[in-house]
Amino acid sequence: MKRLLITGAAGGLGRAMRPRLKGLAETLRLSDIAGLGRAEPHEEIVPCDLGDANAVHKLVEGCDGILHLGGISVEDKFSKILNANLLGLYNLYEAARAHEKPRVLFASSNHTVGFYRQDQHIDVTAPMRPDGLYGVSKCFGEALARLYFEKFGQETALVRIGSCMEKPKNHRMLSTWMSYDDFLSLIACVFRAPMLGCPIIWGISDNDSRWWDNAHAAYLGWRPRDNAERFRAELDAQLERPAPDAALSRYQGGQFTEDPIFPET
Ligand code: NAI
Ligand code: 15L
């Protein structure tokens, strides 16, 4: 790729992936509403609010891939989710349509299915069961991407990320964890695949206690190599297991299932 756009580049995942993605494109175009520091020689920085249609059109121009990490990443007031995750996504897809339909990797979330119980094993045919307004916004994002695929042939990988961080922070994450290395190899597979389509992919490492089945996406050749199991002893020593009826041990979405709907005022 000549130019890969990374939205949400100032966030937790953006900061982790920024140095790792250096070899994937000649230029990384980094964008966020938060500060991004100084550009390295292979980088360009374009601040942009995803809710601003004109700015998003300029942002996408000249890019041949988009890693879309930007937006609200936890439960929040609807007005904030509306601007960043709904309007922002619409703006992104309209801009992509206007600028030669660069392939997109959309950071969706396990919170599209958060109300499945942890003793249920599901694949991508399972109906959505979002666990909050944040989860609903990711369901919207997946539906919007699918619309642009069916109508215009816009390709997107809908990556339902579990918990992508240095290491799992609790026992639930022994099932949902994805290492940075595995995310990097997934990103490379998505942008290098001769044909992508619009698949839903569970963004998890090869965890022994995973709940989600990626068999349908085998054609991409992604082979996650890490396994959260190696952190189990450390977690057992550090943390008491939550009670069996606690949200954290009951639902796939964990604590998000107990979040309130935040009032606007
Ligand atoms: P984060 O909250 O650390 O980063 C999101 C970034 O988006 C922030 O830097 C923020 O300033 C930016 N942003 C927010 N509103 C914006 C707007 N209106 N315009 C432009 N930029 C805006 O989240 P994180 O952890 O880095 O996650 C990245 C993406 O991956 C998010 O979309 C999140 O929903 C998704 N995801 C992450 C998971 C994880 O384990 N880190 C799990 C599941 C999904
Ligand atoms: C998400 O969707 C969030 O963005 C992230 O902060 C984590 O909490 C993750 O899900 C998770 O479920 O662990």
For ligand 2, whether the C-beta of 111 sits within 6 Å is yes
Minimum-distance ligand 2 atom for the alpha carbon of 138: 2
For ligand 2, whether the C-beta of 34 sits within 6 Å is no
Asked whether 35 and 58 are in contact (CB, 8 A), the reply is no
For ligand 2, the distance from its centroid to the CA atom of residue 198, given in whole angstroms, is 22
- Rounded CA-CA distance 104/152 in Å is 14
pLDDT at 147: 99
Question: CB under 6 Å to ligand 1: residues?
Answer: 8, 10-14, 32-34, 49-51, 69-73, 83-84, 88, 107, 109, 161, 163-165
For ligand 1, the distance from its centroid to the CA atom of residue 244, given in whole angstroms, is 30
For ligand 1, the distance from its centroid to the CA atom of residue 87, given in whole angstroms, is 15
Closest CA to 107 of 156, 165, 159: 159
For ligand 2, the distance from its centroid to the CA atom of residue 28, given in whole angstroms, is 25
Which residues belong to the active site? 134
The contacts of residue 232 (CB under 8 Å, 6+ apart) are 174
Asked whether 52 and 31 are in contact (CB, 8 A), the reply is no
Closest CA to 111 of 264, 255, 8: 255
For ligand 2, whether the C-beta of 85 sits within 6 Å is no
Which residue, chain included where needed, has tokens 């944040």? 134
Which residue, chain included where needed, has tokens 């290395």? 181
In a mutational test of the pocket of ligand 2, which residue from 161, 166, 175 has the highest number of ligand atoms less than 8 Å from its CB? 161
Q: Whose CA is nearest to atom 41 of ligand 1?
A: 164
pLDDT at 99: 98
- The fold of 3-257 is Rossmann fold (3.40.50)
* Residue stretches of the chain with pLDDT short of 50: none
Distances (CA, A) of 52 to 26, 38, 55, 87, 122: 27, 23, 5, 9, 37
Q: Which residues of 176-188 are buried (b: 16+ CB within 10 A; e: fewer)?
A: bbbbeebbbbbbb
pLDDT at 9: 99
- Whole-model pTM: value is 0.99
Which residue, chain included where needed, has tokens 């299932």? 257
For ligand 1, the distance from its centroid to the CA atom of residue 257, given in whole angstroms, is 19
In a mutational test of the pocket of ligand 2, which residue from 15, 85, 106, 163 has the highest number of ligand atoms less than 8 Å from its CB? 163
* Ligand closest in space to the Cα of 259: 2
For ligand 2, whether the C-beta of 137 sits within 6 Å is no
Residue 103: other Cβ atoms inside 10 A: 21
- Rounded CA-CA distance 101/92 in Å is 10
In a mutational test of the pocket of ligand 1, which residue from 73, 204, 255 has the highest number of ligand atoms less than 8 Å from its CB? 73
pLDDT at 230: 98
27-30 and 43-45 beta bridge pairing = parallel
The domain limits of the chain are 3-257
